[in-house]
Amino acid sequence: MVGTTLAGRETAESIRREAASLFAQHGYEATSLREIASAVGIKVGSLYNHIDSKEDLLLTVMGGTMDDLADLVDDALEAPVDPVERLIAFMAVHVRFHAERAQEVFIGNSELRSLPPDARATITEKRKAYRELIERLIEAARMDSSEEPLNVRLHAFSVVAIGTHVAGWYREGGGLDLGTIVNTYAKIVLRSLGIPEADRRVDELLPVEG
């Protein structure tokens, strides 16, 4: 695949962005490469300078979304040492990302079946690694609590579901600002683990204006 120059990278990102928009609006099967090329402003043949196939493009959209999320989480967890602070930092990224990248989250949830088996396995492995990270964060944070979580894996799935849920209903300019939503969900997760002074600890790291 070519397109390693700055212009090439910008075109590739534009293809990914427009493909995500069209897949979200019309569905993967109903979206043609010609429509994607037209949205980008290039000829359909030029798409193949950046992708191998339509399936490859879907994998790029879905895999790129997971990679972006993983990179943001890695950055957020680089500084905090305290396990509870690490979980709070994770929740801030997790909720905010799903709110701001809802379109790509929707594609990830609705179009996994459209990928061929090898590509589907790639996305499934990325999701598994993400869930296992959540499990480790929960295991570490719960050491501050006298309560045992009922099931760490199911608790991790519930955290994943928070992101999916937010992506489904959050709209910028709605009744709640995103900072409040992030703060509240972080408190919900810490409270569910029985973390002492959960609200105070979240407010110190994720203050809400006003």
Q: What is the pTM of this model?
A: 0.91
Structure confidence by residue, pLDDT tens digits, 117-156 = 999 999 999 999 999 999 999 999 988 777 776 799 999 9
Confirm if 123 and 59 have CB atoms less than 8 A apart.
yes
Return the structure tokens found at 142.
């719960």
Which domains can be identified in the chain, with CATH numbers? 1-51 (1.10.10.60), 60-205 (1.10.357.10)
The per-residue pLDDT for 174 is 82
- Could you give the 3-state DSSP secondary structure of residue 49? helix
DSSP for 142-172, please give it. GGG-SSPPS-HHHHHHHHHHHHHHHHHH--T
How would you label 143-163 residue by residue, b for 16+ Cβ within 10 Å and e otherwise? ebbeeebeebeebbebbeebb
- List CB contacts of 5: < 8 A, sequence separation 6 or more: none
Whole-angstrom distance, CA of residue 180 vs CA of residue 209: 8
Return the structure tokens found at 47.
């798409």
